[in-house]
Amino acid sequence: MRSRKRMFIGMIIAAFSMIYVSTVFALDIKLAHVVNEKDSFHLAAVKFKELSEKYTNGQVTMTIFPNAVLGDERTLLERMKMGIVHAGVITSGPFINFVPRFGAMDLPFLFRDPAHAYKVLDGPIGDQMFAELQKQGIIGLAWAERGFRNLTNSKRPVNSPDDIKGLKIRLMQNPIYVDSFLALGANAVPMAWTECLTALQQHTIDGQENPLNVIVAFKLYESQKYMAITRHAYASAPIVMSTKMWKRLTPDQQKALKRAAREAAQYERDFDNANEAKWMKELAQKGMAITTPDLKPFLKAVKPVYDKYVPKYGKGFIDSILNTK
């Protein structure tokens, strides 16, 4: 009888010990991004947190820091290299400062449609880009998205490159984006997103370019009367992690987080694609004048950008993206 009692007590102690250990030694990951809680980035971050905690049985937890509270995107990447920030959902543009060949993905009108972009990023080309990123102290887990970017401004409708001439357009701090809009005749203004909203409201700049989900989430219709559906660039949004944090995970935890990241990325893509028509309607109802220009003159105007960058990134590499079916 006493032996059974001791066994029972031992089982209770062991159970509470397991709970204690899993609670005390749960690894908390600081996951950061620069947009607000209405943006699809945040949707991806929340799903990543949810699935990571589920697939590791609570051994890994995540705390999300939105709204650039831990820094702008370039700062987040620098802090990830140092291990200060553990993970992030980051627009692809700033990665060019760490892996120059990421810039090839930003060439104007490179991707035909979402299916083309997904095929490239989820295949050998995307794996190759992540392999180069790993050498910089950052692990690429999955390709979420910012999406196809469109142009907004407060001055006039855009139906041709001539309509862009002279407009002060905020761009990411990315040389290819700057060169692309200079080729289109804009006054290109590289600027961190954290500064852009104030600049738009104060009319120190005329416009910006972003996907529909950003234009809706940040209520850009309040300062931007006109939107042109240019789809001039597709911006991915890698879900990434500091190598220093990655090495603290067990192989099983690493496998679980990679699975969680890929499922979160797909969840966000599905959300974006399902809501595009709704966002267009909402922006029109909010008073934005929306144009759908013929893109042939735009493609002709940005040819010098390809002439400049194709030798840098390699014609074979660019062609492998263009020819992906």
Residue 8 lies in a domain: no
For 48-73, write each residue's pLDDT tens digit: 999 999 999 999 999 999 999 999 99
Phi, psi dihedrals of residue 227, rounded to the nearest 5°: -135, 135
Phi, psi dihedrals of residue 66, rounded to the nearest 5°: -90, -175
Instruction: Identify the pLDDT of residue 209.
Output: 96
E strand or H helix that includes residue 290: strand 289-291
Residue 77 β-bridge partners: none
Residue 294 lies in a domain: yes
The span from the CA of 140 to the CA of 134, in Å, is 7
Is residue 69 within 8 A of residue 52, CB to CB? The reply is no
Is residue 324 within 8 A of residue 125, CB to CB? The reply is yes
The span from the CA of 103 to the CA of 309, in Å, is 9
Alpha helices in the chain (DSSP H): 2-24, 40-55, 73-82, 114-121, 124-134, 175-183, 193-201, 212-217, 243-246, 251-285, 296-301, 303-313, 315-322
Residue 114 lies in a domain: yes
The span from the CA of 126 to the CA of 11, in Å, is 49
> With a cut of 50, which residues of the chain have pLDDT below it?
14-24
Is residue 318 within 8 A of residue 106, CB to CB? The reply is no
Residue 6 lies in a domain: no
Residue 230 lies in a domain: yes
pTM: 0.83
Contacts of 219 (CB under 8 A, 6+ apart): none
Distances (CA, A) of 285 to 44, 150, 210, 221: 27, 18, 19, 10
Instruction: Identify the pLDDT of residue 13.
Output: 52
Domain containing 149: what range?
Answer: 26-322
The span from the CA of 107 to the CA of 128, in Å, is 18
Name the token pair of 188: 């290109």
Would you give the end-to-end CA distance of the chain in angstroms? Answer: 72
Instruction: Identify the pLDDT of residue 17.
Output: 46
Residue 13 lies in a domain: no
**Count of structural domains within the chain:** 1
Neighbouring CB atoms inside 10 A of 12's CB total 10
Residue 17 lies in a domain: no
Phi, psi dihedrals of residue 81, rounded to the nearest 5°: -60, -35
Burial of 31 (0-12, 13-18, 19+ CB in 10 A): buried
Instruction: Identify the pLDDT of residue 199.
Output: 96
Residue 196 lies in a domain: yes
For 182-236, write each residue's pLDDT tens digit: 999 999 999 988 899 999 999 999 999 999 988 998 999 999 999 999 999 998 9
Instruction: Identify the pLDDT of residue 302.
Output: 97
Instruction: Identify the pLDDT of residue 210.
Output: 94
> 317: domain CATH number?
3.40.190.170
Instruction: Identify the pLDDT of residue 22.
Output: 43
